[in-house]
Amino acid sequence: MKNKISWLAAPYVIWMALIVVAPIIMVVIYAFTTAQGGITLDNFARMGTYTVIFTRSFQLALVATIICLLLGYPLAYVMAKEGPGFQRIAMVLIMLPMWVNFLLRTYAWMAILENNGILNNFFEAIGLFDLINGIFGTDLTYFRMIRTQGAVVLGMVYNYLPFMVLPIYSVIIKLDHSLLEAARDLGANSALVFRKVIFPLSLPGVLSGVTMVFVPSVSTFAISRMLGGNNQMLLGNLIEQQFLGGAYNPYLGSAIALVMMVIVIVCMVVMNHFGEGEEQAVML
Amino acid sequence: MKKITALTLACSLALGLFLSGCAMEESASGSSSYNFTAGSGSTAGNNSSSTESGKREVNVCSWGEYIDESLIYKFEEETGIKVNYNTAPSNEELYSLLQSGGVNYDVIVPSDYMIARLISEDMLQPLDYSKIPNYEKIDEQYKGLSFDPNNEYTVPYTWGTLGIIYNTTMVNEPITSWEVMFSDEYAGNILLIDNSRDAFGMALYYLGYDVNTTDEAQIREAAQLVADAKARGVYDGQGMDEVFQIMEGGNLAIATYYAGDFLSMHENNPDLAFCVPEEGSNWFVDAMCILKNAKNVDEAHEWINFIASTDSNLANMDYIWYASPNAEALEKYPAYYEETYGEPLDQELYEIMAAPKDVLARCSMYENLPAETLALYNDLWIELGI
With beta carbons less than 8 A apart as the criterion, state whether B241 and B218 touch.
no
- CB-count burial class (<10 Å; 0-12, 13-18, 19+) for B171: middle
Q: Which residues of B touch A245 (CB under 8 A)?
A: 92, 195-196, 378, 381
What is the distance between the alpha carbons of residues A18 and B92, in angstroms, rounded to a whole number? 27
What is the distance between the alpha carbons of residues A234 and A226, in angstroms, rounded to a whole number? 12
Hey, which residues does B257 pair with through a beta bridge? B163
**Residue of B192, B378, B383, B384 to mutate for A, most A C-beta atoms under 10 A:** B378
Question: Chain B contact for A57, CB < 8 A?
Answer: no
With beta carbons less than 8 A apart as the criterion, state whether B353 and B263 touch.
yes
Residue in chain A closest to B371 (alpha carbons) equals A247
In sequence order, the 6+-apart residues with CB closer than 8 A to the CB of A209 are: A68, A69, A72, A163, A164, A165, A166, A167, A168
- Band (pLDDT 50/70/90 cuts) for residue B34 is very low
In sequence order, the 6+-apart residues with CB closer than 8 A to the CB of B166 are: B175, B180, B253, B254, B255, B272, B273, B274, B275
> Strand B254-258 to strand B107-108: parallel, antiparallel, or no bridges (unpaired)?
unpaired
Render pLDDT for B240-261 as a digit per residue (tens, 0 to 9): 989 999 999 999 999 999 999 9
Is residue B268's pLDDT more than 70? Answer: yes
Residue in chain A closest to B247 (alpha carbons) equals A116
Question: Chain A contact for B186, CB < 8 A?
Answer: no
Hey, which residues does B58 pair with through a beta bridge? B83
With beta carbons less than 8 A apart as the criterion, state whether B308 and B138 touch.
yes
**Residue of B242, B244, B245 to mutate for A, most A C-beta atoms under 10 A:** B242
What is the distance between the alpha carbons of residues A233 and B384, in angstroms, rounded to a whole number? 9
Question: Chain A contact for B117, CB < 8 A?
Answer: no
Share of residues in chain B with pLDDT > 90 (%):
81
With beta carbons less than 8 A apart as the criterion, state whether A44 and A263 touch.
no
pLDDT (0 to 100) of residue A275: 65
pLDDT tens track of chain A, all 284 residues?
A: 556 778 888 999 999 999 999 999 999 999 999 888 889 998 999 899 999 999 999 999 999 999 999 999 999 999 998 989 999 999 999 999 889 999 999 999 999 999 999 999 999 999 999 999 999 988 889 999 999 999 999 999 999 999 999 999 999 999 988 998 999 999 999 899 999 899 999 999 999 999 999 999 999 999 999 999 998 999 999 999 998 887 788 999 999 999 999 999 998 888 888 766 554 444 43
Element (H, E) at B383: helix B371-385
pLDDT (0 to 100) of residue A277: 52
- Domains in chain B: ranges and CATH: 47-159+284-341 (3.40.190.10), 160-283+356-385 (3.40.190.10)
Q: Which amino acid would we find at residue A63? A: V
Q: Which amino acid would we find at residue B337? A: Y
The H-assigned helical ranges of B39-105 are: 48-53, 70-79, 91-100
Is residue B42's pLDDT more than 80? Answer: no
Cβ–Cβ gap A232/B386 under 8 Å: yes
Q: Which of A73, A63, A92, A30 minimizes the C-alpha distance to A259?
A: A30
CA distance B86 to chain A (A): 17
Question: Chain A contact for B386, CB < 8 A?
Answer: yes
Is residue B107's pLDDT more than 90? Answer: yes
Q: Which residues of B touch A250 (CB under 8 A)?
A: 99
Cβ–Cβ gap B96/A244 under 8 Å: yes
Question: Chain B contact for A225, CB < 8 A?
Answer: yes
**Residue of A50, A57, A104, A231 to mutate for B, most B C-beta atoms under 10 A:** A231
Hey, which residues does B158 pair with through a beta bridge? B286
Q: Which residues of B touch A116 (CB under 8 A)?
A: 249-251
What is the distance between the alpha carbons of residues B310 and B134, in angstroms, rounded to a whole number? 8
In sequence order, the 6+-apart residues with CB closer than 8 A to the CB of B327 are: B137, B138, B139
Q: Which residues of A touch B90 (CB under 8 A)?
A: 244
What is the distance between the alpha carbons of residues A221 and A232, in angstroms, rounded to a whole number? 11
Question: Chain A contact for B375, CB < 8 A?
Answer: yes
pLDDT (0 to 100) of residue B229: 97
Which of A111, A116, A241 is closest, CB to CB, to B382?
A241
Longest dimension (CA), chain A: 79
What is the distance between the alpha carbons of residues B165 and B262, in angstroms, rounded to a whole number? 7
Q: Which residues of A touch B246 (CB under 8 A)?
A: 114
Is residue B24's pLDDT more than 50? Answer: no
What is the distance between the alpha carbons of residues B56 and B58, in angstroms, rounded to a whole number? 7
Q: Which of A222, A228, A247 minimizes the C-alpha distance to B197?
A: A247
- Band (pLDDT 50/70/90 cuts) for residue B18 is very low
What is the distance between the alpha carbons of residues B231 and B90, in angstroms, rounded to a whole number? 27
Question: Chain A contact for B371, CB < 8 A?
Answer: yes
Mean pLDDT computed over B90-102:
89
pLDDT (0 to 100) of residue B43: 38
Local structure of B191: helix, strand or coil = strand
Is residue B36's pLDDT more than 50? Answer: no
The H-assigned helical ranges of A3-145 are: 10-16, 22-31, 42-45, 51-81, 84-95, 102-113, 118-125, 128-136
Q: Which fold has domain A50-274?
A: MetI-like fold (1.10.3720)
pLDDT (0 to 100) of residue A7: 86
With beta carbons less than 8 A apart as the criterion, state whether B84 and B57 touch.
yes
Question: Chain B contact for A104, CB < 8 A?
Answer: no
In sequence order, the 6+-apart residues with CB closer than 8 A to the CB of A207 are: A271, A272, A275, A283
Question: Would you list the DSSP string of B334-366?
Answer: HHHHHHHHSSPPPHHHHHHHS--HHHHHT-B--
pLDDT (0 to 100) of residue A2: 55
Strands (E) in chain B, as ranges, are 57-63, 82-88, 107-108, 124-125, 155-167, 190-193, 235-239, 254-258, 272-275, 283-291
φ/ψ of residue B353, rounded to 5: -65, -55
With beta carbons less than 8 A apart as the criterion, state whether B261 and B244 touch.
yes
Which of A53, A244, A246 is closest, CB to CB, to B377?
A246
- Band (pLDDT 50/70/90 cuts) for residue B202 is very high
Q: What are the residue boundaries of the structural domains of chain A, listed by start?
A: 50-274
pTM of the model: 0.85
